[in-house]
Structure 1
Amino acid sequence: MKLNRMLIVGVIALLCVVNPLFAKGTKDTESAKPAQVQSAEPVKAAPSSDAAAIVPVKPEKPEIVRMSVLNGPSGIGMVPLFEKAPDLNGIPSSFEVSASPQVLLPKLLKGEVDAGILPINVAAKVYTANKQAVLLAAITGNGMLSVISRDTSVKSLADLKGKKLTVAGQGGTPDYMIRYLARSEGIELNTTDGIEIDFSIPTPEIVPALLAGKIDYALVPEPFSTVASIKDKTIARVLDVQKLYEKACGIEGCEYPVMALVVRKAFAEKYPATLELFLQACKESVEAVNADPKAAGALVEKHTLGLKAPIVAASVPRSAFVWQSARESRQNVERLLSVFAEFAPESIGGKLPDDGFYLK
């Protein structure tokens, strides 16, 4: 009995010690609940730098997209856009014609136009000399040079030995191309046993001189060869420079680009989505010209790009209008620019353009 009484007293004493501990723990737990329970109205977290970084930014859009092409063949591929503005998600566009690269370039560098068509070597030179101000977006025209003559006995470059060849444009693609081709075939220029090269006649006057019999052989681009053959059926394309270049290159399908679509770097970086739409429209424009040369000719004459409709319609199939992105065309571009660099480094800015030249 005495033992039982002692046990009871011990249990009561233990409960008196433990109960305050449980009571304290319960009180602390309940007092912590309000900080853990979410209210019906979500609590907004204070903005942090990480949260701000993931907020989607609405793409910027330009007020207008402006393009300029050169008077003559370079603008033919873009002429459908002169007639019908491209769909740029509501962004307007404008298209104009510049008389020469010397007129077009200041507009690009000043931001007065956003895109333009230039000779490939000029595009490379502008990139190097003007802190990468312009980028190559695409090639819109490949080689279209021919040797034309009434002398159909000419079957190779060697057949021009001892003859005078009038070349369209000193310091341009025809000039460096004939030098490259002659060297590749071991033919000397401006020697008694070689080919005499003549730059004395301005390009627009070469065909009239050939028609009048003042010269016998000429190296000209399209559409000059087409003009000559239309006006005198005895004049023929006796040598296709593209085929000669492919042979000299030693690579099947090797092409040389001549017309480059360039864009301002600042525009490309600020408005990539709009630029993508614009370039797609340019691609479709070139495709439309190749698909319907007659319609293209009518538009060229209507929008006064410097050529008559019948000439354009007849020359387009021989003009090598293409659409090759900067990346697709890079090997061909560098191969041709290497030819320029060999004979006149200053014509491309002193060196081949680096990777940044090619729009990604």
Structure 2
Amino acid sequence: MKGYLRKIIALSCVLSLVAIGGCTKQASTKPVTVAALSGPTGIGMIKLMSDQDNISKNYDISLYQSPDEIVGKVVSGEVDIACVPSNMGAVLYNKTDGRVKLLGVNTLGVLYIVENGDSIKSVEDLKGKTILSSGKDSTPEFVLNQVLRANDIDPIEDITVEFMGNHADIASKLVAEEGSIALLPQPFVTTVLAKNENIKVALDINQMWQATEQVDLPMGIIIGSKSFVEEQPKQLKAFLKSYEESVEFVTNNLEEAAKLAVAYAIIPDAEIAKKAIPACNIVYRNGVDSKDMLSKFYEILAEANPKSIGGKLPDENFYTIPN
């Protein structure tokens, strides 16, 4: 009998150790993997990145230069959360058969018509002009065309758009050539303003979009993998709270935010960063508050070119996060 009891006690100890080991393994979750672009979406995250490097180790955050670098990582499931251009969220939703979820909007309109001169006083003055732009068959072109049409300007007949490889090439040409006009996003706008005193912001495309569409212009969003959203709700909630706090820090502490933007190689100069950050329209709007503006945005893109959102509008599941 005593031998039997000893076996029972020994077995109980083993089971206890296994249970403790199992609980320990479950509690030691790996860091949340996050991908963002080295631009406004990255700027909104810099306080979170700084805390991650110096205080906690809850997140593994990487910045990328191109959305294409992030696409493969989302499709393959390498990242839990990604900050991407708004249209790319729809593309990825369709490309992965619904394996991504909208978590919120993090960047509103950042597009401006900038001129090396003083000939553009209103949108009507764009008629007959040549506008430098990047991103043919992408969001900047579709947004510009929508705004022009809303103001009775035919983007094909009334203006000429000269497409260039990237924003940096456009900025260089704008600085060098008097009379040139360009469609540029922040922080490139602030950079060219600092380099040439004759350059000015002629038109705010974001305000024009709001006036005609009656909603904000959503340029960047946060998405999460469906598996992460459904299986790690506590980590998701913690991340979104930290992200929102990071955005609040960036918008309310320009001096420190500018230094961090330089430290993480997003903007090369702190003085330019201080001027650019307020114009980058960095926000945090949760998925519920984002739905109306995104739905309108996707409908406009779908009409312009269905391929820009992956062939079809995202359905309700894109916007719905389980409780």
TM-score (norm 1): 0.78
Paired position in structure 2 for 1:23: none
Paired position in structure 1 for 2:42: 75
Say whether residues 1:168 and 2:131 are aligned partners. Answer: no
Paired position in structure 2 for 1:21: none
- Equivalent residues of 1:145, 1:222 under 8 A apart: yes
Say whether residues 1:130 and 2:91 are aligned partners. Answer: no
Measured against aligned partners, the alpha-carbon deviations of 1:219-274 in whole angstroms (never above 9, x if no partner) come to 1110111111111122111101112112221x3xx211011111111001001011
Paired position in structure 2 for 1:244: 208
Q: How big is the shift at 1:284?
A: 0.6
- Equivalent residues of 1:65, 1:114 under 8 A apart: yes
Partner SS state of residue 84, structure 1: helix
Say whether residues 1:218 and 2:182 are aligned partners. Answer: yes
Whole-angstrom distance in 1 between the partners of 2:254 and 2:264? 15
1:147-296 → structure 2 map (5 Å cutoff): 147-191=113-157, 194-213=158-177, 216-249=180-213, 251=214, 254-296=215-257
Whole-angstrom distance in 2 between the partners of 1:120 and 1:357? 13
Whole-angstrom distance in 2 between the partners of 1:315 and 1:333? 24
Partner SS state of residue 257, structure 1: coil
Whole-angstrom distance in 1 between the partners of 2:96 and 2:59? 26
- Counterpart residue identity of residue 312, structure 2: K
The higher-RCO structure (CA 8 Å, 6+ apart) is 2
- Equivalent residues of 1:146, 1:238 under 8 A apart: yes
Deviates most, 268-277 or 302-311: 302-311
- Equivalent residues of 1:86, 1:278 under 8 A apart: no
Partner SS state of residue 116, structure 1: strand
- Counterpart residue identity of residue 98, structure 1: Y
Q: How big is the shift at 1:119?
A: 0.3
Whole-angstrom distance in 2 between the partners of 1:314 and 1:328? 28
Q: 1:273 to 1:320 in 2, by over 3 A?
A: same
Paired position in structure 2 for 1:330: 291
Q: 1:123 to 1:226 in 2, by over 3 A?
A: same
Whole-angstrom distance in 2 between the partners of 1:215 and 1:80? 39
Whole-angstrom distance in 2 between the partners of 1:160 and 1:91? 50
- Counterpart residue identity of residue 237, structure 2: E
Say whether residues 1:95 and 2:61 are aligned partners. Answer: yes
Partner SS state of residue 68, structure 1: strand
Whole-angstrom distance in 1 between the partners of 2:179 and 2:66? 27
Partner SS state of residue 138, structure 1: strand
Paired position in structure 2 for 1:112: 78
Partner SS state of residue 85, structure 1: helix
Partner SS state of residue 219, structure 2: strand
Paired position in structure 2 for 1:319: 280
Q: Percent identity?
A: 29
- Equivalent residues of 2:41, 2:282 under 8 A apart: no
Measured against aligned partners, the alpha-carbon deviations of 1:293-316 in whole angstroms (never above 9, x if no partner) come to 221121122122354322221101
Paired position in structure 2 for 1:64: 31
Q: How big is the shift at 1:345?
A: 0.4
- Equivalent residues of 1:69, 1:116 under 8 A apart: yes
Say whether residues 1:355 and 2:316 are aligned partners. Answer: yes
Whole-angstrom distance in 2 between the partners of 1:154 and 1:91? 50
Give the gaps of 5 or more residues in structure 2: 1-22
- Equivalent residues of 1:86, 1:93 under 8 A apart: no
Q: 1:133 to 1:348 in 2, by over 3 A?
A: same
- Equivalent residues of 1:133, 1:265 under 8 A apart: yes
Partner SS state of residue 44, structure 2: helix
Whole-angstrom distance in 2 between the partners of 1:106 and 1:148? 34
Partner SS state of residue 66, structure 1: strand
- Counterpart residue identity of residue 348, structure 1: I
Paired position in structure 2 for 1:146: 112
Whole-angstrom distance in 2 between the partners of 1:82 and 1:213? 38
Q: How big is the shift at 1:201?
A: 4.8
Q: CA RMSD in A?
A: 2.2
Give the gaps of 5 or more residues in structure 1: 1-56
- Counterpart residue identity of residue 35, structure 2: S
Q: How big is the shift at 1:341?
A: 0.6
- Equivalent residues of 1:137, 1:359 under 8 A apart: no
TM-score (norm 2): 0.86
Partner SS state of residue 45, structure 2: helix
Whole-angstrom distance in 1 between the partners of 2:79 and 2:267? 21
